[in-house]
A and B are shown apart, each in its own frame.
Chain A
């Protein structure tokens, strides 16, 4: 992987924050606001009751929520967001069974250059349909996605749905001839991370993050398998797949069970294993391979923390 690609660029996601339940309200646990100090300050002052604002809505409705355009919406920090140039947001609730562990919120700014996609897919009549998504400048891809559905096992969303596992896809668009892939290629989307979003009541939601080279969502993606069916009784996770702009492939080439393993509380991924809550870090030393920021999102399935997905920029 060419490190010259790693030059500073506009990023697709500008703000990532984690809201955790404290009594009957969601409070800010941590966030990475880049340079948007005023928006950060406004956020620190905020908290959300169930159903209130974007995080509260994801909590109350027990589903991921995409919000495009804050004016006149239920979004509570519109003024500060507008001042910071943020125009859209996605809230992803993290449930462990019926218990809300946290809500992860990502915020994006709109212009004609930022390309990428954050999509929420839901199951309807045996097919995955686009719930909503934020695409930045990838308008054609947005239109195509709105008119696409996935049966079980097909494509990134269908693959995630049927395997109940996060999946990391490479070379989006290369070799794919069907319309969405073709459009993905034209939009410059290269890497796709898909993950199941379990919610109470058994409805199916799949979240996909599609990253483009010019305005990447991340330059390093990791999928950690923490299921007891893979690790036994030990509270640990193994790095089953990953790709890094600096380090290249992050998986065991001999497929021989020699993956990297972290135990609970060991480093950032270990912290997510220990707490079961997403983690956002920015501007701290000690992140993997000198990246500036990272997000790690746990997935709780069948009564256990089953996977952690992480992305770094």
Chain B
């Protein structure tokens, strides 16, 4: 009988022995070394053991009886010191064992981030029973806090389990969404939501600076300065093959032990299997390929033929109640098409990625039925063109099932606010309907929902439809775009009432039919999110029009215009000199605009950062001539200079511009302040126009002088400059919070009615709240984009290559 020595009693080598004994129990006399003081157990089930949902006894794969029955000599708890390939012996801590064939199954070890404090007691990995026991012990302290570093499979399983054990758990993840290697952003969002529902705190884009503590872990310090108290820190950022012994034995190494398709190393008598193996450049971490390797190696050891092949893999997460599945490649790319299905009410997201006629990737969350069928299509590269239209519904599709456009509203809880004006919740409306109010007029009369600004009308109708079924027919509406079934107004209201604070949240909860929206809905949703949640949502430049991305207006010849801000239309000799110098230096044409600003035309894209920097140096900031935001405040010279001037119109204009600049609005906003009713600043055709009179200030809103020409309507007359500023700010904020994206104020006013706007800004408490919210938003967004781009993104403006250069000969 030949002598087989196996180093490492893990899942791969365990499966190898099973296959070997099953095929020929008398082929080898086996000695099994294991550094852990126990035999093989189902390591991937450690997380349910940690949570208490499985017992250790249940996950033992091979017990003492099994080893005895197969006459395996077990050297458990004994490390292998070296391998002498010349003499064909394995040297253990307690003595040598000769071999004819040797198998390395040394597996992998956890990667520990080498940050300061990583070696403090209380920092654990999650690889074996010892780690699991350490975590269980740590969870014994009442009110204990755990920080899990790494939002991958293992980290999240540990986090959920520690939460079950009663700990306060925070997950730190470096990337923007959880499990980014297996999930796309949308599924990552749902997973995060699911974990947060369990009371787990998830911090993405969280980079660990150091682990602090005196003699043991006490807290984790993040790069952004956040300090998280911790009784235990679980490192679950990845694994690395454990191959030191193999390396010292002189075997050929890559990133791990290099093997051929028969699992043979560079030494024909030595084999390797599992996570310590490198095959054709691949490393392995999931269990399925390990079992394939074990099967192949068993045959190789019995001199039978078999070949290991790298196959497609799929991922599942073992957290009770989290159903997710991912397989294949789901990166966006040229020639790839997505099919997306979302059901907000059930929290379901399904995405298939097709390349040509083949399914190449799939991500499912919340509904994993048929995942094996889809996995088969990916693995086998089957032609799916015949069933493309119904593919997403799975193999048993009988026709007819489509997403329900009402599901987003059906999913709203009763306490979700539908009508912001009158504070009416979904539950109130449902109660009114059940009480006999079966149409919009009756709902308005009984609950006041949709009775003020009317922007929630669509939602109220949907609640009617959800509650009454086909007894209520919803009037047809114009959805935001082909990506969804909701209007702009509905989307705005739902972003507020469902507290949606990210794009993935909007796509999922409102049932978007595309992965990431389109060029129509993305800018709108981006604006709604940043207007409603300035502190939570981060502006997404990729969801902006090109002029807003480049902070300059592109001209017909491909050059850009650059317009510095001149507060209230006032400038001075120094600024004019700087503008003149810039015009000379960058060959720009100079134009005075209708809004009393100086425009430099014909600037090349690569010169933009330089000209911005020069103008910044002269104390000027961007004039935002390209943005959906405050453009200019036009003024006349006012009482300082003009014989007719009644108030300091220039001063008010400057104050308004300094207060309002930088804020994003649904469309561009132009202001003007005229010092007397002669109206030299043409204030009566602006979005907000103020006419100064002896008794104070007349504030008009909703003027236009473009495609439509319209005189402002009087919002209010006030006595003091301070009140004029307050009303203006409150009006702008109301417009920011309620208007449809790309509606100028006059269009918005036509929908909601001036009376309602007057009521809102006229109420002192509402006005103060609007101003407060505006100022909060400005604390984030009032910054010069020129200075920001010069400092952080200069290189993006440089051309990729200079094609005007000629080769030297």
Contacts and interface: CB of A to CB of B under 8 A. Distances in A.
A241 B55 CA distance: 12
A61 interface: no
A22 to B, nearest CB: 28
B45 interface: yes
B166 A154 contact: yes
Contact of A164 (B45, B136, B321, B395): B321
Interface string B48-68: 000111110011010000000
Contact of A165 (B58, B133, B287, B321): B321
B129 to A, nearest CB: 12
A291 to B, nearest CB: 20
A288 B395 CA distance: 32
B166 A253 contact: no
A124 interface: no
Contacts of A176: 52, 139-140, 165-166
Contacts of B51: 159
B316 A177 contact: no
Given A154-B163, A234-B396, A253 B369 contact: no
Contacts of A172: 52
B200 interface: yes
A170 B323 contact: no
Interface stretch (A138-146, A223-231, A264-272): A223-231
Q: Sort chain B's interface into a size bin.
A: 35 or more
- Dominant secondary structure of chain B at its interface with chain A: loop
A159 B320 contact: yes
B508 to A, nearest CB: 15
Interface string A131-165: 00000000000000000000111111011001111
A152 B197 contact: yes
Nearest to B200: A153
A229 B366 CA distance: 7
Contacts of A294: none
Nearest to A253: B42
A253 B198 contact: no
Contacts, number: 118
A172 B53 CA distance: 10
A232 B198 contact: no
Interface in B188-210: 197-200
A231 B395 CA distance: 12
Interface in B747-801: none
A177 B320 contact: no
Interface string A77-95: 0000000000000000000
A165 B316 CA distance: 17
A34 interface: no
B137 interface: yes
A307 B366 CA distance: 15
Contact of B369 (A164, A231, A241): A231
A237 interface: no
B141 interface: yes
B142 interface: yes
Contacts of B319: 163
A254 B199 CA distance: 29
B14 to A, nearest CB: 11
Contacts of A175: 52, 133, 136-137, 139-140
A167 B54 CA distance: 10
20 contacts: A152-B197, A154-B164, A155-B164, A162-B199, A165-B320, A167-B320, A169-B52, A170-B58, A172-B52, A175-B139, A177-B142, A228-B369, A230-B323, A230-B368, A232-B369, A233-B394, A243-B55, A249-B54, A249-B58, A251-B58
Interface of A: 151-156, 158-159, 162-165, 167-172, 175-179, 202, 228-234, 241, 243, 248-249, 251, 253-257, 302
Given A154-B165, A232-B395, A232-B396, 14 more contacts: A153-B164, A153-B197, A159-B164, A169-B52, A170-B55, A175-B52, A202-B414, A229-B323, A229-B369, A230-B368, A231-B369, A234-B396, A253-B42, A253-B45
Interface of B: 42, 44-45, 51-55, 58-59, 61, 133, 136-137, 139-142, 160, 163-166, 197-200, 287-288, 291, 316, 318-323, 346, 348, 366-370, 372, 394-396, 398, 414
